[in-house]
Amino acid sequence: MLVYLRLLKESFAFAINALRSNMLRTLLSLLGVTIGIFSIIAVLAAVDSLDRKISKDLSGLDKNTIYLMKFSFGPSEIPKWKREQFPNIKYDEYTYMKGAMTNTDQLGYQIFTKRESLKYDSNTVSDVNMVPVSYEFIDIQGLEFDKGRFYNESEANSGAKVIVLGSEIANSLFDGIEPIGKEVRVYGQRFNVIGVLKKKGAELFGDSDDTSVYIPVNFLRQLYGDNNESLVNVIVFKPNKGVDMAAYKAEISQKLRGYRGVKAGEIDNFFINVFSGFTDLIDGIILNMKFGGWMISGFSLLVGGFGIANIMFVSVKERTNLIGIQKSLGAKNRFILFQFLFEAVILSVIGGVIGLFLVWIIALVLTNVLDFEFVLGMGNILLGTLLAGLIGLISGILPAITASKLDPVEAIRTGM
């Protein structure tokens, strides 16, 4: 064991000596490994950071959440002209489904509408995402409050002029003033502020709660009516945990078809969109990004492997005389083999560490510049180091075997 530890120490010394004696040649040879490890780990770190951000953004929603609406989340086999004839979801269908559905934890109603401007005294915030929803959404979306509360069932059903603000909207309108109890103007009317949501940060999909405001859905119904084609209405279902999703979707379809009078043999004139289908799509995209990163970076690692092999063959050539002397003094073939293998691995790991360091620096810079956290996890650091070591091992095998099989007499004669 001590012999191999000494061998490892000597191999490290030879690797450092190779860097010092001809630094430019060695660094150029290591450049392929550095670029390869940098490319792979940068892609994996970016994808992992993206995955972490998506998971955080979607953590408030159950994957089994269902959106019943006239549009589909994904591609559909139904012709476009036929989909365009589908009727909008109605509020009376929401009230019917609320009483008819079983195995349901929460069921809410939402209207997608255009953006508006909010005003308080002389302060105005434009392009605000308006979210008219029923009172159940505090539980469906897991809303968290910095101060105040969400509107209750009575306020929601009556269409009361109450409003819940996102943190950025509240800061822009009130600038340090206590917002609860104040009135803001929107839709030409005054709304009483009853709550401010906790700050969540920017989201990758859709509008962040920070830049959104919640109002009772019945206020908008009173304002625009139930037949306004510019609005998109949705019933949101949160089924009980452990429910059979296929059976639950079938129950939704059966109940709504019966309520609408859809005849047997006719297709559904609505779409049942399960949120897990959206997350599965995102997972597939992330997987493809990782695969693409491995494919592209693999070529850089291949070039890096050739660079390590090249520098090791040069090293064998330069130290032929030394190899002959070592063998003449009793060094075994495996001693010479391991000596050059260790040297190749150490050189490759040095190149990999440089690549990892570059990823870390860029991640720090981007995290500070952008509103997005890039994280270089310990798993990716270990993966990069292991990959670099594996490339060194593979690239150094042939030069190490060549060195170990040299005849000591010929080696000494050649080196003289």
For 127-161, how does the pLDDT look when each residue is reduced to its tens digit (9 = 90+)? 899 999 999 988 888 888 999 999 999 999 999 99
pLDDT score of 393? 84
In angstroms, rounded to a whole number, what is the distance separating the alpha carbons of residues 236 and 109? 6
Phi, psi of 260 (to 5 degrees): -85, -10
**Distance set, CA 187 to CA 25, 112, 218, 235, 324 (Å):** 70, 15, 14, 24, 91
pLDDT score of 207? 66
Q: How far is CA 98 from the centre of its chain?
A: 35
- For residue 168 the two structure tokens come to 């950025």
Q: What is the mean pLDDT of the chain?
A: 81
379 pLDDT higher than 70 = yes
CB 333 within 8 A of CB 15: no
382 pLDDT higher than 90 = no
pLDDT score of 4? 63
Q: Which residue is associated with the tokens 């939704």?
A: 252
pLDDT score of 58? 59
In angstroms, rounded to a whole number, what is the distance separating the alpha carbons of residues 303 and 146? 54
142: left (phi over 0), alpha (psi -120 to 50) or beta: left
pLDDT score of 92? 93
Reported as a single tens digit per residue, the pLDDT across 82-117 is: 888 888 999 999 999 998 998 888 899 999 999 999
- Contacts of residue 77, defined as CB under 8 A and 6 or more positions apart, other chains included, come to none
- Contacts of residue 303, defined as CB under 8 A and 6 or more positions apart, other chains included, come to 32, 35, 36
Give the start-to-end residue ranges of the domains of the chain.
Answer: 2-57+286-415, 87-269
368 pLDDT higher than 70 = yes
Which run of H or of E encompasses 124?
strand 123-133
Which comes out higher in pLDDT, residue 216 or 242? Answer: 216
In angstroms, rounded to a whole number, what is the distance separating the alpha carbons of residues 345 and 118? 63
- For residue 391 the two structure tokens come to 């490339």
In angstroms, rounded to a whole number, what is the distance separating the alpha carbons of residues 234 and 70? 8
- Contacts of residue 212, defined as CB under 8 A and 6 or more positions apart, other chains included, come to 128, 129, 130, 131, 166, 169
In DSSP terms, 12 is beta-bridged to none
User: How many CB atoms within 10 Å of residue 228?
Assistant: 15
Which comes out higher in pLDDT, residue 137 or 339? Answer: 137
CB 328 within 8 A of CB 394: no
| Mean pLDDT score, 222-234 | 86
242 pLDDT higher than 70 = yes
Reported as a single tens digit per residue, the pLDDT across 308-322 is: 787 778 777 777 777
